[in-house]
Structures are given as C-alpha cells and as structure tokens.
Chains A and B, each alone.
Chain A
Amino acid sequence: MSSAATTAAQSTTSAQSAAGAAPDADAGGHATLGGVTLQAAPTGTATSGSGGVPPEDGSARVATDYSAFRVVAAKHPWRWVGTAFVALGVLAVAWSLATNPRWEWGVVAQWFTAQSVIAGLLETLKLTAISGILGFVLGFILALMRLSASPLLVSVSWTFSWIFRSTPLLVQMLLWYNLGYLYEKISLGIPFTDVRFFEVQTTTLISQFAAAVLGLTLNQAAYSAEIIRGGILSVDQGQLEAAAALGIPAWRRSTRIVLPQAMRAILPTAFNEIIGLVKGTSIVYVLAYSELFYTVQVIYNRTQQVLPLLLVATLWYVVITSVLSVFQYYIERHYSKGAVRNLPLTPLQKARKFFATHAVANNARNAR
C-alpha cells in the first residue's frame, strides 16, 4: 500500500490509475497516509486522486437507491453549548439590572416623562431634524460641486470639507457662538463700497439656537457631501451614457437615473450619520442650550441622582435610534427595488405569512 502512496507522490496520473485500479487501495491508503503527511503536496494529490475514483468505480458497483433512506441532520453540540453560555450571560446582566437597587429605576421612571425632560427631548429632535435636513441638502450641493467640471467649484467644495472635517465640532460651536467677539456687526452690501442694504448686531443674530444649528449643519454638510459623492461615484458610468444617448436632460439624469441608484450606497452611511447626529446634538450643552442632555445635567446637579438621570437621557436616545432604524429598514428596502431579484419579506409580512400558513394548516387539520 505504501507503494501506491509513493507512486502518487511521483505523478497525478499514476495516482489516479493506482487508486482507480483497486477500490480497496484507498481504504488501505489511509493507513499509510500518516507516514506520508510530511510531503504536504503529494498527499494532497493522492487524496484528490482517490476522490476522483467514483466514475471508474461506479461502473463496477451496483448503484444503490438512496431515495427511501431517512436524512439525519448534522449535529452541532458546540453551537448549543455556546448558545447556553451566552443566554446565561444575558440573564445575569438582566438580573443585576433588575435587582441592584443602585440603578434607582424608580427615579428613572419618575423623570423619564417629566415635563422638563420632554421639553429637552423635543429640542434635541428639533436640532437633529433641522441640521440633518439642511446638512444633507448642503452636502448634496457640495457633492455636485465636487463632481462638476469647474475647477473653482471643485476646489471650493474640497476646501469646505477639508476645513470642517479637520476642526473639532466643539471649537466650531464656540466660534459661532462668539462670532460677535470677532465681528461686531454683520451687514449685507456691495463689497469695498459704503453701500449697505442691511446691518445687524452679530449677537442679536447668533442666538444659542442659531449657533447650534449653524455649527451642526455645516459640520454635517462636510461629512454628508462625501457620503453622497461616494454614492454617486458607485453608479456605473454606462448608466449616464445610456441616459445621454436617449436625450434625457442633465437634471433628470441626476435625479431619476443616478440618485435612486446611488441611494443604495448612500443610505446605510447616511443613517449612521443621522443617528450620530442625534447623540451629537448633546455637544451643544457647551452653549448652555437646553436640549435633552443639558436638561438632565441641570436636574442631576440639583438632585445629585447622576446615574439614574443619565439613564433617562440614554433610554430616550435608544428610543429615537430604534425608531430611526425602522425607518432605515423600509427606506433601504424601497431603494433596493430592481437591485435584488426578489425583495425579501418585511418582518410584518413574514409574521402575517407565518400566521396565514399556520392557520391554513390548522384549518386543514380540523377539516380532516
């Protein structure tokens, strides 16, 4: 038998013929394999050689009909061990959360829907919505500028993203709020002349709210410009060419042909950004702007219940993010039209189908 293995080491053809000649050769071959394992490659050929046996072999054997055999599913004992282990861990965490009195769930419940907290929550939502929408609109314009043929537009867009991505948001925020220190008045007129159409004190124009929106929007625009640009670049050039060959106008080419296809690449990252922005709004506490995070800070400074109040804010952030994730799922699904052969069922549809088929099965059983 070891001779068969050595021949195999010499050439593949001989390995096949050797293994193919006698069916019992590979049965014995396994025994000697241990001795040949040092020669990694030849062992491989020897096994693949014996793997190639069936065609020649099958003709000699009588074909067995397996159609009546029962299929036994493969067993995965370690998967069960792993599952049990993780379940135990989850249970332990849940137990400690529920039973450790220092979490002070009572305090959390008391403040969760308090009027001041809800007011702060609404401010957070307002900031997120306004700077999210404005940020993405401005980002879209910046992305188009960056992709345009004009070198000036390209460099302006690039510089914008460069500046706002390389300075800390905190600094930007304080800078906007203290703009009055740098420029006492803001005016609109013809540059380098004395003509002024309107003039206003900077401090009256830049309120806490304006500084917050300005800072968040411009920062968001710099990031979303890159996300949208990436999405547009991911669309095949042939699509634009086909649209141009059909005489479809440029604006329509962007909105009807390119953007819907780019959305698939844009959406996951865009929702990352929006969810980041929800929590990112908490940075405006430096302006003493009473959004959710600043509100709970004010409360725990008074009551000293620091952890429970931070939990209140956290839970609200979790709620907002969860709602956004549901939106994300359905919007992404909408834009995957045509990109996948068949859309997968939504969780709701799956549930409905589950109950429908089971109801049918039950009815059928009852009828019998």
Chain B
Amino acid sequence: MSTATAIAEAPASTAATRGLVEITKVHKSFGATEVLKGVSLTVEPGGVAVIVGPSGSGKSTLLRTINHLEKVDGGYISIDGKLVGYEVRGQKLHELREKEILKQRTEIGMVFQNFNLFPHLTALENVAEAPVVAQGRSKEEARRRGLELLDRVGLKDRAGAYPRQLSGGQQQRVAIARALALDPKILLFDEPTSALDPELVNEVLDVIRELAKSGTTLIIVTHEMGFARDVADTVVFMDQGQIVEQGTPEQIFTNPQEPRTRSFFSKVLEPAFNI
C-alpha cells in the first residue's frame, strides 16, 4: 500500500466501518477489592463515549481493560467482533501471546493522564517510533507522517523539541499525535486534561473535538463536564464499579433517572453551569 493512499484513506475508511467496541459483563479485582462488577457497554463505530463518575468508580480501569493493559477476571471485550487478548478455538478461549497482544494494541491508541512521553526522544521521535517498530513502516514514511500529525495538533514547529521543553498542553498534544500515528480504530483518553493547568485545558480539548468529527471511535474518561456534554454521543455514568446510567448528554445531564446520578451531578455541575 502506498503512503499516499494510506493517508487519504485513513479518515474515509474509519467512517462507520471500523471501531465497534463491545464490553460484556467485565469483572476485575485488585486483591480483595472488586473494581469492575460486571460492566457491559457498547460503543458504535465512530461513536464518542464519555465516561464520568466519582474517583475510584472504575472508569480508568475499564478503559485500560479495552487495550489489555489490565487483564479481565471475567467477561470479555471485543473490537469489531474480535476478542481482545483471547482467541476462540472450539469451545475454549486461548490467551494470546505477547506478540499478538501487541499487534492488537496497535489498533487502539491510548492517551494518558500524565502524557507518558518518552523524555529522551524528541516530539517527532516520540511520534515516529511505534509505526516503525510495531507496524514495520519505513523510517522515512513514519517521519513524514509524524510531521503531518504534529502539524494537525499545531506543533509542527516543535518537532525537534524534547518533551521537557514543551508545556503540559503541548506535551499532551504530542501524545495524541503519537497515538494517532498507528492509525488506530479506537482512541482511549484517560483523563487527558487532569494534569494540566486550567488555561492549557482547552488547547487539548480542541484537538479531541476535531478527532470526534473524524470518525474514529473515542472513549474518553474525563472530569470536564462542559466538554463531555459538548462532544459525546453517549455519556456513561459509573459508580462503584458499575454503569449506573447511560444515554445522550441531554438525558444524562438534564434529566438523570437514577438518584446516584442526580446526586453526583448536583455536586459537580452546579458551580460550572452557574457561571
């Protein structure tokens, strides 16, 4: 496949043909604490699901099970009908080997709360590393594509800078470009703005808003309620390891059905919406 078609086709092919995420009755415990108690959730291809809820409700853990950074104790997760981390053979689920798990992960980009950029590599090297070693693309192609992606997040002129020479917001935008470099079907955002100074939050949210229109499936854990309302197709409210309620932003924010949802939003929303 030539580079030109790969780039041209990336946004087109994502539109509704790939990126269906189905989470079925997922359980996960850390020691004696059960952090996910049978969570089921479907995100349609190209959909934008925003997960909200109090700290410790299992939002981040759920996100990390989707790309198998956490192994589930029960239930299963599939992407476009293919199980994550397992292979069906007859009536058995065989655990995939490291190599195959890594291959699956290249289809799922992840953006972390603390950016986790590689500090000893420049912005461009950060972006261009995985396509070469995980997807076997040529260095030249990865570099060219890396520059395009940095341009897309508005940082083309900082390609040669090391992460510590960038502001928090810039670092997170590089991290988003790095996740995009693998042309993932799905992007996971784990509280992408929680570590940022307030005035830097918007530059990151703007980039994510753009991505929401691109047709890639997004699953976002965030505390930015205004942003959630703005960008989500589906808002999912989690508490104590369970999905309490889900629906359109309208339903969840203005007319929540469950008392737990109502009490959470009464604490979180009012100050923001009164301003």
Contacts and interface: CB of A to CB of B under 8 A. Distances in A.
Interface in A305-357: 335, 337-342
Interface residues of A, number: 25
B105 A246 contact: yes
Contacts of A337: 120, 162
Given A338-B163, A339-B164, A340-B164, A249 B102 contact: yes
Contacts of A260: 120
Contacts of A244: 69, 102, 105
Interface string B32-75: 00000000000000000000000000000000000101000000
B133 interface: yes
Nearest to B162: A338
Contacts of B114: 238
Interface stretch (A3-11, A30-38, A100-108, A250-258): A250-258
Interface string B101-141: 01111101110101011111110000001100111000000
Contacts of A242: 110, 112, 116-118
Given A238-B114, A238-B116, A252-B133, A246 B98 contact: no
A247 B69 contact: no
Contact of B134 (A248, A257, A261): A248
A284 B164 CA distance: 47
Interface string A87-107: 000000000000000000000
Interface string A253-271: 0001100110000000000
B197 to A, nearest CB: 18
Q: Is the interface of A mostly helix, strand, loop or mixed?
A: helix
A247 B103 CA distance: 6
A244 B179 CA distance: 12
Nearest to B105: A247
B133 A248 contact: yes
- Of listed A247, A249, A339, residue having the most chain B CB within 10 A: A247
A241 B133 contact: no
B178 interface: yes
B202 interface: no
A249 B134 contact: yes
A238 B175 CA distance: 13
Contact of A246 (B122, B162, B164, B182): B182
- Interface size on B, as a range, is 20 to 34
B99 interface: yes
B130 A246 contact: yes
Contacts of B110: 242, 245
A246 B129 contact: yes
A304 interface: no
Contacts of A238: 112, 114, 116
A256 B129 CA distance: 10
A341 B182 CA distance: 28
Contact of A239 (B69, B118, B122, B135): B118
A329 to B, nearest CB: 18
Contacts of A338: 119-122, 162-164
B178 to A, nearest CB: 7
Given A247-B102, A261-B119, A338-B163, A241 B130 contact: no
B167 interface: no
A252 B165 CA distance: 25
Interface in A217-239: 236, 238-239
Nearest to B116: A242
Contacts of B109: 245
A239 B109 CA distance: 15
B162 A248 contact: no
Nearest to B67: A245
Contacts of B130: 246-248
Contact of A241 (B69, B162, B178): B69
A339 B67 contact: no
- Of listed B69, B102, B106, B129, residue having the most chain A CB within 10 A: B102
Nearest to A245: B110
Nearest to A243: B118
B110 to A, nearest CB: 4
Contacts of A249: 99, 102, 133-134
Nearest to A240: B116
A337 B67 CA distance: 31
Contacts of A257: 118
A250 B134 CA distance: 11
A76 to B, nearest CB: 35
Given A241-B69, A337-B162, A341-B165, A246 B120 contact: no
A241 B119 contact: no
A49 B109 CA distance: 56
Contacts of A248: 102, 129-130, 133-134
Contacts of B179: 246
Contacts of A339: 119-120, 164
B134 A247 contact: yes
Nearest to A339: B119
B109 to A, nearest CB: 8
Nearest to B102: A247
A255 to B, nearest CB: 11
5 contacts: A239-B118, A242-B117, A246-B179, A248-B129, A340-B164
Given A238-B114, A261-B120, A339-B164, 7 more contacts: A238-B112, A241-B112, A246-B129, A260-B120, A338-B164, A339-B120, A341-B164
Closest CB pairs A-B (n = 9) = A242-B116, A247-B134, A338-B162, A246-B130, A247-B106, A238-B116, A245-B110, A247-B102, A338-B120
Interface of B: 67, 69, 98-99, 102-106, 108-110, 112, 114, 116-122, 129-130, 133-135, 162-165, 178-179, 182
